[in-house]
Amino acid sequence: MHEVVKIKHSRKSIQARKYLIRSAMGGLIVILGIMIWMLTPIRQVMVMGVERVLIYINEYTSRETQSEQPFLQDVELDEVTEIDLSDYEIVIKNTHDLWSGELILVNSAHSCRIQQGNDLLSVNGLKNDSYKLVDQEMKLNQTMIQQLNRMMKTFEMSTGKHDMILTSGYRTIEEQEEVLQEKIELLGEEEALEWAMLPKYSEHHTGYAMDMSIYTDQGNYIRYKGQDEYGWINQNCHKYGFIRRYSSDKEAITGVVNEEWHYRYVGIPHAYIIATKNFCFEEYIEYLKQYRYDTKHLIMTCEQGKYEIYFVSSEQRETEVWVPGEESYSISGNNVDGYIVTIEK
């Protein structure tokens, strides 16, 4: 059976939670010591219920950490400037298509305008045993789940560890409101807004974003920051289409402070390029605009294959997107001003 660790989201005030922790911690330590030996599964549920506040404290107050950098090998970037559109055909995209796809940019300036995420499915129904969940109802994009399974299985095989836990996936607007309010009560409004986006402006609405932590088989919570053997994830996540979305050196661009635990799925070729160029996602979306469908295409070659990428500006209601007639391709809106075509060669 897939392991699911349930976290109960208490609606009590932060003051009540702090009082609960102070008053119960002494007795809880004794009780938990006994339960370690007797009833480990039950203990895990109880610990996670109490540690919800500790998770927030740890994740949103410790900023100075060092994460392992991506391990890049045999990556080549090139350009094609002689474009022959004779074998291409036209696909019509409507305005709402601009808002969907794995390359939509969602930040404080661009809200998520899709209501139900991108092809959401239950993670628990598709996951393997290489990682854990805080909630069996968690949802993510289907392709993202498949790549997450591949990454976590290889991580387990490489390190022997299977204690990564997904603490957050897709969120509704109402759920994002709750998350923000919790942080405001804990940190105050000004600092809370550095850590949590306003409702409608969170990547978690897309179904392509996830938060991760560490939860050992012994029931110990460890804040994830890409440390020690866990650095494998930061070094290799691009091979599976993931990027670490927010880093301290890009804070001036993203508007979000360093979050080692927040990962975004963008697809394999794009994750490779972002890692190679040391871009944040905002920089990458802007970078691609120079590769117009009729003038210049970007070519990326890596161990996963060869890809061709270009940009098509959006028109008002309907946009003609030129695509190859006999090659496999995908089209994603960027949620700003156009469409990104990715061809698998």
Report the pLDDT value the prediction gives residue 150, as an integer from 0 to 100: 98
Distance CA 167, CA 210 (A): 8
Which band of pLDDT confidence, cut at 50, 70 and 90, is reported for residue 297?
very high
- Contact between 135 and 223 under an 8 Å Cβ cutoff? The reply is no
pLDDT higher for 8 or 147? 147
Which band of pLDDT confidence, cut at 50, 70 and 90, is reported for residue 245?
very high
Helix (H) / strand (E) element for 252: namely helix 251-254
- Contact between 164 and 155 under an 8 Å Cβ cutoff? The reply is yes
Among positive and negative, which fits the CA dihedral 229, 144, 219, 157? negative
* Mean pLDDT calculated for residue range 41-69: 43
Report the pLDDT value the prediction gives residue 206, as an integer from 0 to 100: 96
Least confident interval from 188-192, 260-264, 286-290? 188-192
Q: Dump pLDDT digits (tens) for 103-124.
A: 999 999 999 998 777 789 999 9
Report the pLDDT value the prediction gives residue 66, as an integer from 0 to 100: 54
Cα 221 to Cα 45, 98, 195, distances in angstroms: 12, 40, 20
* Mean pLDDT calculated for residue range 286-314: 97
Percent of the chain whose pLDDT exceeds 70: 80
Interhelix angle 173-187/40-59, nearest 10 degrees = 70
Among positive and negative, which fits the CA dihedral 126, 176, 66, 214? negative
E strands, the chain, are: 76-80, 88-94, 120-122, 132-133, 139-141, 164-168, 209-215, 221-222, 242-246, 259-265, 297-302, 305-313, 318-324, 328-333, 338-344
* Mean pLDDT calculated for residue range 198-209: 93
Least confident interval from 17-21, 119-123, 308-312? 17-21
> Rounded mean pLDDT of the chain?
83
Report the pLDDT value the prediction gives residue 155, as an integer from 0 to 100: 98
Q: Which of 33, 55, 35 is nearest to 43 (CA)?
A: 35
